[in-house]
Amino acid sequence: MAKIKAKILMDPERPKVAPTDVKDVLERYSFEVTSRSPDIGVVVGGDGVFGFYGRTESIPLLFVGVRSEQATGSKAFLAEAYYDELPVALEKIRNGEYGVVEQRRLEVSRDGKKMGDVFTDVYLERGSESNSLRYGLQVKGKGISFTESAIGDGVVVCTAAGSTGYFSYPDKISLGDWLEPSRFTTLTENEVGVCHIVPTFTKRENEREHPLRYILPWETEVEIRLHRPADARLYGVVEDRGGLKIEAKDVIKIGPSANMTSVIKV
């Protein structure tokens, strides 16, 4: 029987496990480790790493989390298995006891030029040289259309895969001392989430609503513009950890992508 070709995908700067250790485990379970025409990708890390490879890779991906004793360590909500469980997951894959689920991505453009896809979330946030951002959203979709303005730290737009991230922060606040992931607001594959980040004010035009967070149908398009110049950064579609600087003249559009992320389920 031919060996399954597996590509190891990790944070190149801050891997949570030595790549050689991951390679040893894969080879021990009769996987061929290669970057040339791989059958699957084994992504070892946290949700940030999962989000990056989830939007940049087209092969089926197995998300593998790493347990951390640190309170602020990675929570890896998207992990299908943890690193200590990797041998069991590999045996199931080798024996054909797994499935592949196609999950939707969002497409992000700036000033009409496509920047890339998003598997989890994309967010506009104030940088270190700025006070609160003043920005507006235009939302258009089937049976839905509105404009709203906000003052705050920024705004996040997410997929179902990203709904346990920034989008869930109001749940974390309301639950107080007990952060229970099972009680976070999550999305289906047919929904898009929008959440203002620590706003001091929001207002939906011609309505009485002052929204903090809401869910939209999948086909909806969200357009974001700054109302005045600020140190604003866009995260989620660039590799730079400092984000992409956004000017007041820029128009950010977020909508459905034609591409999908293939996720291995064991």
85 is written with which tokens?
């469980």
- Find out whether 105 and 41 touch, Cβ atoms under 8 Å: no
Q: What does the pLDDT average to over 87-115?
A: 97
DSSP for residue 3: P
- Find out whether 241 and 41 touch, Cβ atoms under 8 Å: no
CA–CA distances in Å: residue 234 to residues 60, 66, 113, 144: 27, 27, 15, 25
Each residue's pLDDT tens digit, 37-94 = 999 999 999 999 999 999 999 999 999 999 877 766 677 889 999 999 999 999 999 9
pTM exceeding the 0.85 threshold for the entire prediction: yes
181: Cβ contacts below 8 Å, ≥ 6 apart: 75, 77, 164
d(CA 94, CA 138): 48
The neighbouring-strand residues paired with 157 are: 122, 194
d(CA 57, CA 262): 9
3-state class (DSSP) for residue 113: strand
To which residue do tokens 């939906």 refer? 204
pLDDT at 71: 64
Categorize the per-residue pLDDT at 23 as very low, low, confident or very high, splitting at 50, 70 and 90. Answer: very high
pLDDT at 177: 58
pLDDT at 200: 96
Compute the 3-state secondary structure of the chain and give helix, strand, coil in percent, each to the nearest 5: 15, 40, 40
Query: In the chain, what are the domains?
Result: 4-97 (3.40.50.10330), 105-258 (2.60.200.30)
pLDDT at 182: 72
Q: What does the pLDDT average to over 176-204?
A: 87
